[in-house]
Amino acid sequence: MDTSDPDIEFDAEGICIHCRTYDAAMAEEPSDPRVRDAELNRQLETIRRAGKGKRWDCVVGVSGGVDSTYVALLVKQLGLRPLAVHLDNGWDSEIAVGNIQRALDTLGVELVTNVLDWEEFRDLQLAFLRASTPDSEIPSDHAIFAAILHTAWKKGIPHLVLGHNKATELILPPAWSQGAFDWRYIRSVHRRFGKRPLRSFPHLDFADYVRFRLWSGKQILNILNYVDYSRDAAIAKIQSELGWRDYGGKHHESVYTRFFQSYILPRKFGFDKRRAHLSNRVLAGQIDRDEALAEIAKPPYASADLESEDRIYVIKKLGLTEEEFAAIMKAPHRRYADYPNMLNSRFYLTARNIYRSTRSIAQRVRTPST
């Protein structure tokens, strides 16, 4: 990590805040694998018991990427009965679509696909590009999780099994991406820059968010936190057992994600998300720093031809002219805080102040007088 994260801080030893945060977070995780295995088995038994007599006992999200494909394989091997959910936002690569089909056919897992209204979603993506924030993937991230949650609730499936892994995904500067769960933020950007109403876009409103927060503690299993997860080992396993094909960089199963992360972010904002991805892997002990530095020295795109193809394809699919795209690339930078969002809402600020006051009073009550 470097100062392309505008909020980064280094201590007197030259260690950045991300490394300190990572160390503190991982220190909270059990170091004894027996403890971790016991907790995983307890949660698996809870899922099996809650899903007894139901067609499915859990929902998994699938994208055709490494993590979600590995999770689908893992839950089947552990004896769960998952329903897979995929969000088609119009940007799936052919490789990703093939990966999903081969994996789920091999595993015998049923798939529900939520296809977004393209014109509606295109308008939302254009709104985020015109908002000039470095988080144009927020609409997809939000819709993916909303589709998974709503499917689980609609079908009465009691648990989600997700592929987030703390050890390899903890570092991501808020300045690079923020607001994935924030419907107020997404809606405010669209109201300012969008042109079409969002009639069918899957989202989590405030009531959904509260329900999710109340539900998430017991109903969501981030299974990769309980196994010795290595991306390289996972790739080898899903290639050999499920016929999975590699598509290149992290999250490049989506053409838009590949273009946004490899072209727009570095050229417009000076952000290269590979720094965060590689830093996580260094801290997790999966690669060393020299390997990471060698990787980050390479161009974000695997080839100049692919970069050119993606640029032409994305601009055309979004319905932009070259002049309009150039204006987007030159527009002044904005951040999450520049638009109405959940964190600067009156309700949130009031609730935060009440919480802080209550906590302060509780701490004074607990502290004996001298």
Quote the strand ranges of the chain, DSSP E: 58-61, 82-88, 110-115, 160-162, 220-222
Task: Tell whether 34 is covered by a domain.
Answer: yes
Pair of tokens at residue 259: 């273009």
Task: Tell whether 347 is covered by a domain.
Answer: no
Task: Tell whether 183 is covered by a domain.
Answer: yes
User: Is the backbone of residue 14 left (phi > 0), alpha (psi -120 to 50) or beta?
Assistant: left
Output the CA–CA distances (angstroms, integers) from residue 26 to 22, 35, 50, 213, 352, in the order listed: 6, 15, 30, 23, 27
* 369: confidence class by pLDDT, cuts 50, 70, 90: very low
What's the CA gap between 241 and 106, in Å, rounded? 8
Task: Tell whether 370 is covered by a domain.
Answer: no
Residues 283-328 pLDDT 10s:
999 999 999 999 999 999 989 999 999 999 999 999 999 999 999 9
Task: Tell whether 203 is covered by a domain.
Answer: yes
Task: Tell whether 343 is covered by a domain.
Answer: no
Task: Tell whether 357 is covered by a domain.
Answer: no
Residues 176-225 pLDDT 10s:
999 999 999 999 999 999 999 999 999 998 888 787 777 666 689 999 99
Q: Is the pLDDT of residue 50 over 50?
A: yes
What is the chain's mean pLDDT, rounded? 90
Q: Which CATH number does the domain housing residue 74 bear? A: 3.40.50.620
Structural domain of residue 83, as residue ranges? 17-338
What's the CA gap between 225 and 223, in Å, rounded? 5
Pair of tokens at residue 213: 């927060």
- How many domains does the chain contain in total? 1
The pTM assigned to this predicted structure is: 0.88
Question: What is the DSSP secondary-structure string of 328-342?
Answer: HHHSPP--GGGS--G
